[in-house]
A and B are shown apart, each in its own frame.
Chain A
Amino acid sequence: MENKIKYAVIAVVAIIIVAAIGLVFLNQGDDGSEPVTITQKGSDTMLELCQYWAEDFMAENDDVTVEISGGGSSTGLTALIAGEVDLAQASRQIKSSELASANSSGVEPVEFKVAIDGISIVINDDCPVENLTMEELRGIYNGTITNWNQVGGDDHAITLYGRQSTSGTYEYFWEVVLKKENYSASMNMLSGNSAIVAAVQGDEYGIGYVGIGYAEATGIGIVELKADENSTAYSPLDEAAVLAGDYELSRYLYIYTDGTPTGAIADWLEWVLTVDGGQAVAEEVGFYALSSDVIAEQLAKLG
């Protein structure tokens, strides 16, 4: 019987040793260069875009690891200011209050435009509404329009879906569409673009807003937007309209650094701004590439 204890102890120790050896050797880099890890946090809308970027960048740069996490633009910027991450991705510009707290803690945020997004208004495939004016959209989200028949749909109450309030998209929408008026109290606030897409997929009378990279999922339709009754309606899938600003909800997406980046971080941003590199990937994921003028402007900031 005593042997059993011995065997048990030996078995446990063996497992531990194997695991430890695995941990040490399994992933030991073969080259001598010191591996660098870059951490970046922020916008959920940009999470997958940045993940794609990171994978392609790492494929070309063996010695650099880029770790991306989400949580929302505010979260990312706060982490950058607190010195917890090297970069923050944000779907809105940094606020003056955030700049002030950055300055007081000795952090100098530098802004890089990295891609273009058209915020897409998504509805269920079965919803007959094709386009909305900005005024109608505002009415829907501030709670003055509550039934689809007020905007040309069936006679049924509208279910509102919006993002959680740390989201840059939440704030952008609040400023641009609602003109800083309160969101309707009956809006369901969900975390992440995917949650909104999933909710609208399952709700015939739902409406939500997401980044264009999330809008082309199965089972949902995209509403075209027009400035007023008499203007043309544009879809966020229409690249020309988004780039020209004819589509009302087009915006830049940003990455912020602390001070002018150097070394691996500068390489990373430079790659993101490369036409064949990061910009091509942005198009592939569903966002839009920056114009060459804007790219040149951003590269200038890299020094």
Chain B
Amino acid sequence: MNRKHKEMLYFTAFRACALLVVLALVILVGYMVTGGLGKISLEFLTEMPRRANTEGGILPAIMGTFYLMVIVLVVSVPIGVMSAIYLVEYEQSSWMGRMFKLAVYNLAGVPSIVYGLLGLSIFVGYLGFGFSLISAGLTLSIMTLPLMITASREAISAVPQSVRDASTALGATKWQTIWHHVLPYALPGIFTGIILSVSRAAGETAPLMLTGVAMSLQTLPDSFFDSFMALPYHLFYMATQSSDLLATRPLQYATALVLLLLVLGMNMVAIVMRKRYRDKYKW
């Protein structure tokens, strides 16, 4: 076999690998869509579950996931953006900066179930929030914090130094420079990070299992201290715990599809947004 043939062989194999990965995505999404599409209806989306989730809709699960996303948005986003600003603009290459970065990096690698243990002992137990929306929401917020910080950090550090220098040279203070000249350019990138973080929170299941998700509720939560349903847990429960697993399979597919559409929709918005922003500002 000569060198050219060898090259062709290898390159074909690599191309096949890449195709395989895309194929995996297509298959996965394809099965969820074909399995779930027929079952999704207005009633399914807007009704309470009945007969131990085997009939009716998934409204409490949708709303539960929505509330979790809101909590993450409110808690994780400001903290994440502020941390990112601090890390990029204020803390440079000292041992503290190194410590902060290490903390964020390691926080990103903590298994989600361990965050569940954190939520259980701190929010449910120590702070006395009980098994509730707020406990789960705060747990998810901490979990998504590293993602939020990393994305915002990248967006802020991508703004060229010359922008800062120009602003400082005209007499602006550091904060004025950041607020008026750095953040506006970093905003699309930060938004992308926000969307990705929130969508991650929407799809996460394991921490919820330790912090108050319920199998079936006939009411929406009245307050942040109520227990709640959530789309991913609902899917897990119906797919593994309900009494006739095969009989409710269409419902499971439909729930999976709703979750998938929610998360993928958000992801796609983020990807498109980042692309447009990259095309717009080429430093």
Contacts and interface: CB of A to CB of B under 8 A. Distances in A.
Contacts of B259: none
Interface residues of A, number: 41
A23 B223 contact: yes
A193 B242 CA distance: 9
A65 B70 CA distance: 25
Contact of B242 (A58, A67, A194): A194
B187 to A, nearest CB: 5
A89 to B, nearest CB: 13
A127 to B, nearest CB: 18
A201 B247 CA distance: 13
Contact of A69 (B50, B185, B214): B214
Interface in B55-82: 63, 66-67, 70, 73-74, 77
A23 B67 contact: yes
Interface in A184-218: 192-195, 197-198, 201, 213-214, 216-218
Contacts of B53: 51
Nearest to B222: A27
Contact of A48 (B52, B185, B222, B223): B52
Given A27-B222, A51-B216, A55-B218, A213 B70 contact: no
Given A23-B221, A27-B220, A51-B215, A4 B243 contact: no
Given A5-B184, A26-B220, A67 B51 contact: no
Contacts of B224: 23
B135 interface: no
A48 B218 contact: no
A218 B247 CA distance: 8
B15 to A, nearest CB: 36
Contacts of B63: 22, 26
B240 interface: yes
A8 B73 CA distance: 12
A15 interface: yes
A67 B243 contact: no
Contacts of A67: 214, 217, 227
A8 B152 CA distance: 15
B243 A213 contact: yes
Nearest to A35: B222
Given A23-B224, A55-B50, A218 B187 contact: no
Q: Categorize the interface residue count of chain B.
A: 35 or more
A216 B130 CA distance: 37
B220 A217 contact: no
Contact of B74 (A5, A16, A48): A16
B96 interface: no
Contacts of B162: none
A91 B272 CA distance: 54
Contact of A2 (B51, B184, B246, B247): B184
Nearest to A195: B240
Contacts of A48: 52, 242-243
A70 to B, nearest CB: 7
B98 interface: no
Nearest to A52: B52
Contacts of A52: 51-52
Contacts of B242: 48, 194
A219 interface: yes
A194 B215 contact: no
Interface string B234-272: 000000111111110000000000000000000000000
B29 interface: no
Contacts of B44: none
A68 interface: yes
Contact of B246 (A23, A55, A219): A219
Interface string B106-146: 00000000000000000000000000000000000000000
A27 B219 contact: yes
A28 B223 CA distance: 10
Contact of A70 (B74, B215, B221, B223): B215
A240 interface: no
Given A5-B184, A55-B52, A218 B244 contact: yes
A300 interface: no
Contacts of A216: 244
A15 B217 contact: no
Contacts of A244: none
Contact of A12 (B73, B218, B223, B227): B73
B183 A5 contact: yes
A8 B246 contact: no
Interface in A4-56: 4-5, 8, 12, 15-16, 19, 22-23, 26-28, 44, 47-48, 51-52, 54-55
Contacts of B227: 67
B67 A19 contact: yes
B52 A15 contact: no
B227 to A, nearest CB: 7
The 3 A-B residue pairs with the shortest CB-CB distance in the complex, in nearest-first order: A1-B184, A51-B52, A27-B220
28 contacts: A1-B184, A1-B185, A1-B187, A5-B187, A8-B191, A15-B73, A16-B73, A22-B63, A23-B67, A23-B221, A23-B223, A23-B224, A26-B63, A44-B241, A48-B52, A51-B215, A51-B216, A55-B50, A55-B52, A67-B227, A69-B215, A70-B241, A194-B245, A201-B246, A213-B243, A216-B244, A217-B243, A285-B243
